[in-house]
Amino acid sequence: MNCKICPFCQQPSYSAATFGKWICPHCNEDLTLVKFSPIRNDKDSTLEKQKTRKTNDH
Ligand SMILES: [Zn+2]
C-alpha cells in the first residue's frame, strides 16, 4: 500500500499501485507526479489490531 498527500486538498490518498495514473479521490486532481509519503507504522498496527478484533468476534 502506498500513500500520497494531495497538494491540492491536503488529503491522504492510498493506492496499491506504484505506476500508472494516480487521481486524488477527494478532488480528482492528478497526483501521478506527486512524491510518495511514508505511511506511519502506528497506523498499520492499529489496522492490524482492528482486523484481529473483527476476526475474533464471532
Ligand atoms: Zn486532492
Residues 6+ apart with CB under 8 A from 37: 3, 4, 5, 12
DSSP track, 7-18:
TTT--EEEES-S
Question: Tens of pLDDT along 18-56?
Answer: 778 999 999 999 999 999 988 766 655 555 565 666 666
Beta bridge partners of 30: 23
Domain boundaries along the sequence of the chain: 2-56
Ligand 1 centre to CA of 13 (Å) is: 8
Question: In this predicted structure, what is the pLDDT of residue 31?
Answer: 94
Ligand 1 centre to CA of 37 (Å) is: 14
Ligand 1 centre to CA of 3 (Å) is: 12
Model confidence at 6, in pLDDT bands (50, 70, 90)?
very high
Provide the whole-model pTM.
0.60
d(CA 18, CA 2): 7
Bigger pLDDT: 10 or 1? 10
